[in-house]
Amino acid sequence: TDNEPLSDELAANDDLPSSDKLMTNDDLPFTDEQTPHNGSGNSSNKNEADEAKSSTDSIDTSDISEVSAASEDFDHFEVDSFLNCMGKDNLLKLHETLVHVYGMKQGQTIYKTIKDKSYSYTPERLTRKKKVERFTGIIFAHSDINDPGDFVDFLEKNRNKTKNLNGIRSAITKSYGETDGLKYYSLFKPYFKIISALK
């Protein structure tokens, strides 16, 4: 019997419904997610479209104005100082600095604001030492560590070492002691290369 064709077995099986008793797609019930194929049930789709339209009509736009207001909610003197120290075209270093100083969310917002061509600031001609002084002053102001008073002079004296983290770490701990030196090193570690590139 294994060699008999399968079609003969199926033809002889009286338990299977005949093709005229099978349900067609038109006979099948549909759920709320489905629509009938004959087009008579499109009213539910129309209602959904009307609901979607009315929900977009009532979108709360107050957040948009809050974001715009937040984009200008920063210390312009500090941000303009960063622009004057690094230049408005040094976008990578500006972004890095803003995120380190102000945190990711506010730093990103400030970055997007100053990157816009409509943002205006007053360019200043600063000496390198004045740039370092402004830059470090802002960093100290955003920390709980006090400026020792001669940190700018220290950085100027050790300018060639600021390119190498091990070199500047050694110089800081030698000048300020292990405890204070490591505090200054940790605070300025993200900025040493930026400071060394200031002109």
pLDDT in tens, 104-157: 999 999 999 999 888 988 899 999 999 999 999 999 999 999 999 999 999 999
For every residue of 52-69, DSSP letters joined together read HHHHHHT---HHHHHHHH
> Which of helix, strand or coil describes residue 87?
coil
| Average pLDDT score over residue span 177-198 | 95
Q: Which residue has the higher pLDDT, 15 or 163?
A: 163
One-letter identity of residue 76: H
Predicted confidence (pLDDT) per residue in 14-26, tens digit: 555 455 545 555 5
Q: Is the pTM of this model over 0.75?
A: no
